[in-house]
Amino acid sequence: MTSGRGPARRSALVLTCSDRSVAGTRADASGEALQARLEALGFSVERRVVPDDRAAIGSALVEAAAVHPLVVTTGGTGLTPRDVTPQATAEVIDYEVPGIAEAIRAEGRRSTPFAALSRGLVGVRGGSLIVNLPGSPKGALESFEVVVPLLDHALETLRGPFDHAAARAAGRLDLPPGTPEDA
């Protein structure tokens, strides 16, 4: 699975997965909060709301990954039968990045033991990073803060070239001191 995305852009899609938000019975507070945070980080942000439906979520993820280097979902990561965001994500990603999802849950458990119930995934499709976050505004923002220190390096790595020495020589890689070149 690859993307036909053109030159790299600092853009993101925030995808809210919620039957109630689609129906207009619940405001998309998580999407709004994530948009504000991403814009504060210098991203141009597109937002979209889809129902808790695997096909709708999967289609939106595929479309977004063809355009944006970062796709952030909010909602649908819990235990109910309608919480299908992780399944839809698993169907369209090329591979998982489990360390980020594990870090999100670990940090969340510092606030509430219920964070362990989140089934959110993080993965890559083509050159795009896809991150599943909880649906509550507080949970979404706290979870996203775990990702923030990793974003620049993750997106730079996905953009390529995939040789750290070549990227550094091109002035496109700023690794912290002591980081192995082949990390």
Q: What is the per-residue pLDDT across 105-164, written as a single tens digit (0 to 9) for each? A: 999 999 999 999 999 999 999 999 999 999 999 999 999 999 999 999 999 999 987 666
Section 12-33 average pLDDT: 96
| 93 against 5, higher pLDDT | 93
- Amino acid making up residue 10: R
Q: Which helix (H) or strand (E) holds 15?
A: strand 11-17
Q: Between vectors from CA 166 to CA 130 and to CA 168, what angle results, nearest 5°?
A: 80
Q: What is the pTM of this model?
A: 0.85
- Amino acid making up residue 19: D
156 within 8 A of 176, measured Cβ to Cβ: no
Q: Which domains does the chain have, with CATH numbers?
A: 11-169 (3.40.980.10)
Which among 100, 93, 48 is positioned nearest to 74, based on CA atoms? 48
Q: What is the per-residue pLDDT across 75-97, written as a single tens digit (0 to 9) for each? A: 999 999 999 999 999 999 999 99
CA gap 55, 48 in Å, rounded: 15
Q: What is the per-residue pLDDT across 45-77, written as a single tens digit (0 to 9) for each? A: 999 999 999 999 999 999 999 999 999 999 999
